[in-house]
Amino acid sequence: MSSGRVTLEVMKTEIEAKFLHINPEDIRSRLEKAGATCKQPMKDMRRVIFRSDDMDSRHAYLRVRDEGYRVAMTYKQFDEMSLTGAKEIEFTVSDYEAAVELLKTIGLEARSVQETRREIWHLGDAEVVIDEWPWIDQFIEIEAPSEDAVKDAAEKLGLSWSDAAFGDIMTAYRAEYPHLGNEPKDMVYNLPEVRLGDPLPDMLKI
């Protein structure tokens, strides 16, 4: 009989790398020259992040995200900040507001409501996304079925692997705000609201 506990064996391993401080027009030009196809133009996204002390200890969170064309519920856990360190369970749901209310009703804490923008390209086996988050430069993520496929996509785009960054969104924020720490209280996704166009929050000010 199953114990009901979630194990890493049932999670998907994400194989992805970030490249920070990019010029989106330059990246789009490189994607087009490499033969990539734009699958989704830049689109507004919204999400609610749910966390708990237990999830904090596992560097994990639960997310409901409205991606414009679908609503996804995701549990994500970072075992390490590496190319293959992210594990996730993800599935689609039909109603964003209902999913958020369900998680609140069962006692989970909604830590942060967030707004971002995302553009999605396909380059061979790789998915390349251009992400826009509040208060930081735009960046891209390259995700593919294997490490070689991620590196191959980066090479086709003329990106140096030595510039690759790994881990959650805090990787990008720490690159621009080095004073941020590693404790949960220092995480941007603990801000009640993370919205495009809002003024710089105190936690990011030196």
Task: Give me the mean pLDDT over the 103-125 stretch.
Answer: 95
The upper half-sphere exposure of residue 25, i.e. CA atoms within 13 Å in the direction of its Cβ, equals: 0
Average pLDDT score, the chain: 92
pLDDT-derived band at 2 (thresholds 50, 70, 90) equals very low
Task: Give me the mean pLDDT over the 104-121 stretch.
Answer: 95
Between 35-44, 77-86, 94-103, 120-129, the lowest mean confidence (pLDDT) is in 77-86
Task: Give me the mean pLDDT over the 178-185 stretch.
Answer: 86
Query: What is the Cα gyration radius of the chain?
Result: 17
Amino acid in the structure at residue 182: N
pLDDT confidence of residue 190: 83
Task: Give me the mean pLDDT over the 12-24 stretch.
Answer: 97
Between 33-42, 140-149, 186-195, the lowest mean confidence (pLDDT) is in 186-195
- Cβ(84)–Cβ(13) below 8 Å: yes
Task: Please state, as a whole number, how many other Cβ atoms lie within 10 Å of the Cβ of residue 57.
Answer: 9
Residue 18 has pLDDT above 90, yes or no: yes
pLDDT confidence of residue 9: 52
The single-letter DSSP state of residue 186 is G
Residue 6 has pLDDT above 70, yes or no: no
Residue 195 has pLDDT above 50, yes or no: yes
Domains of the chain are 11-180 (2.40.320.10)
Residue 3 has pLDDT above 50, yes or no: no
The single-letter DSSP state of residue 165 is B
Residue 119 has pLDDT above 90, yes or no: yes
Residue 196 has pLDDT above 50, yes or no: yes
Residue 71 has pLDDT above 50, yes or no: yes
